[in-house]
């Protein structure tokens, strides 16, 4: 239709103009939402299975006889469901990764409702206080160690076998992502507690790292034998910089507890080497190392570049650096939580988790070696 004809057309009523405007606005919103979902929420993998500790626990410990729980306010103050058992003010790294991979929020394995079709997008087995070693975190009570988490996955696998044939199941498992966050408790709730554990007297830091990695490798091979093929193994962060360690007062002002960071160094170096070995010895699989230490170090060294202003205090806690214990029930946390790297004595805020997730998903080889999660999903 030419401009001349448009000009000669009868002028529409104001009511019609308003209706047309609303229609175009609706179409614009629909297209925007559709494109946004396609960019960030498309289903890139069939499922994600999470193994780990309180950094990624979504409520498993709610169903255990454990002192390590976060199912009370102010945990979840910024989460749409409130206090679910996440050790955070809001979302964890796996919540953000689920969005990026197009995977719905994963159910906790220990939840009695986690069965049937609810498990088809994956399951979260992570347990606060759990570690690579069975004895780690024992003083908290019940928890799922890595060994138990692998056994729990086998139970899930039996349920999946009832829902799909063997060929479909094989493809499903091979395409699914395995995200593993382990090791921190084996230091914080074992090696660094000489009054309760003898490990620091028995092993040098290198020997202890080797012990952890040998146990870890055996369970990774077990998961591989069950059909899983895509593994992201995250390293341990700079534990000497968390408020809990700063609360000890053994560091110089403005510095982390250097000897603690040095202790975890052999574990991270060894885990990266283990990834190389596993890739060489397990054809058809991909193992990747997530450099959690490096990402956290970036945030701590230059917090303002990431939007943070407080790096050495927990947003919620008591004592020096708000780091002596985790949040007490009904405690009043800091107001501007997006400015804090740490939520409590041990765990990052939702804002920090978002950065960790983005780096794990699309970071360069210095963040994820040899590939990141986005690249892994495409394999």
Angstrom distance (rounded) from CA 58 to CA 67 = 15
Angle between helices 146-161 and 205-225 (to 10 degrees): 10
Task: Assess contact for 364 and 374: CB atoms under 8 A.
Answer: no
pTM (2 decimals)? 0.88
**Residue 331 falls within a domain, yes or no?**
yes
- Other Cβ atoms less than 10 A from the Cβ of 301: the count is 10
**Residue 2 falls within a domain, yes or no?**
no
How many domains does one find in the chain? 1
DSSP code of 108? B
Q: What is the CA radius of gyration of the chain?
A: 23
- The predicted-structure confidence for 60-91, as pLDDT tens digits, reads as follows 999 999 999 999 999 999 999 999 999 999 99
Angstrom distance (rounded) from CA 96 to CA 289 = 18
**Residue 199 falls within a domain, yes or no?**
yes
**Residue 312 falls within a domain, yes or no?**
yes
Take residue 260 and report the two structure tokens written for it: 């603690």
CA distances from 332 to 91, 316, 329, 336, 346 (A): 19, 7, 9, 12, 17
**Residue 353 falls within a domain, yes or no?**
yes
**Residue 82 falls within a domain, yes or no?**
no
> In the chain, how long is the greatest CA-to-CA distance?
93
Q: Which domain holds residue 303?
A: 150-378
- The predicted-structure confidence for 219-274, as pLDDT tens digits, reads as follows 999 999 999 999 999 999 999 999 999 998 787 777 999 999 999 999 999 999 99
Of the candidates 53, 54, 127, 199, the residue annotated as catalytic is 54
**Residue 21 falls within a domain, yes or no?**
no
Of the candidates 57, 312, 344, 367, the residue annotated as catalytic is 344
Q: Average pLDDT for residues 335-357, to the nearest whole number?
A: 97
Of the candidates 215, 251, 313, 347, the residue annotated as catalytic is 347
The HSE-up count of residue 185 (CA atoms within 13 Å, CB side) is 28
Percent of the chain with pLDDT strictly greater than 70: 88
Q: What local confidence, expressed as pLDDT, does residue 196 receive?
A: 96
**Residue 351 falls within a domain, yes or no?**
yes
Instruction: Mark whether 54 is an active-site residue.
Output: yes
């Amino acid at each position: 239709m030419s401009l001349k004809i448009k000009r000669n057309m009868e002028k529409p009523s104001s009511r019609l103009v308003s209706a047309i405007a609303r229609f175009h606005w609706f179409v614009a919103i629909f297209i925007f939402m559709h494109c946004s979902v396609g960019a960030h929420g498309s289903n890139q993998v069939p499922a994600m299975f999470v193994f780990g500790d309180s950094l990624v626990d979504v409520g498993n410990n709610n169903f255990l006889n454990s002192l390590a729980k976060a199912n009370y306010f102010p945990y979840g103050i910024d989460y749409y469901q409130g206090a679910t058992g996440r050790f955070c003010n809001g979302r964890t790294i796996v919540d953000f990764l689920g969005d990026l991979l197009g995977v719905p929020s994963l159910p906790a394995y220990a939840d009695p409702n986690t069965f049937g079709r609810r498990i088809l997008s994956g399951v979260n087995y992570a347990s606060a206080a759990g570690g690579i070693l069975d004895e780690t975190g024992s003083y908290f009570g019940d928890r799922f160690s890595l060994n138990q988490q692998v056994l729990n996955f086998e139970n899930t696998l039996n349920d999946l076998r009832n829902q799909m044939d063997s060929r479909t199941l094989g493809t499903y498992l091979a395409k699914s992502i395995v995200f593993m966050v382990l090791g921190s408790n084996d230091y914080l709730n074992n090696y660094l507690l000489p009054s309760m554990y003898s490990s620091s007297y028995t092993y040098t830091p290198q020997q202890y790292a080797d012990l952890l990695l040998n146990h870890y490798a055996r369970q990774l091979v077990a998961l591989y034998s069950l059909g899983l093929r895509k593994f992201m193994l995250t390293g341990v962060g700079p534990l000497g910089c968390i408020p809990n360690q700063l609360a000890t007062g053994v560091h110089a002002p403005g510095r982390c507890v250097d000897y603690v960071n040095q202790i975890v160094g052999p574990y991270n170096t060894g885990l990266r080497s283990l990834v190389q070995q596993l890739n060489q010895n397990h054809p058809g699989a991909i193992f990747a190392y997530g450099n959690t230490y490096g990402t956290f170090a970036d945030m701590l060294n230059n917090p303002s570049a990431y939007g943070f202003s407080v790096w050495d205090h927990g947003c919620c806690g008591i004592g020096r650096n708000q780091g002596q214990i985790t949040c007490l029930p009904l405690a009043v946390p800091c107001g501007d939580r997006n400015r804090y790297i740490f939520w409590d004595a041990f765990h990052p805020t939702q804002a920090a988790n978002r950065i960790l997730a983005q780096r794990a998903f699309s970071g360069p080889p210095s963040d994820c070696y040899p590939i990141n999660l986005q690249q892994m999903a495409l394999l």
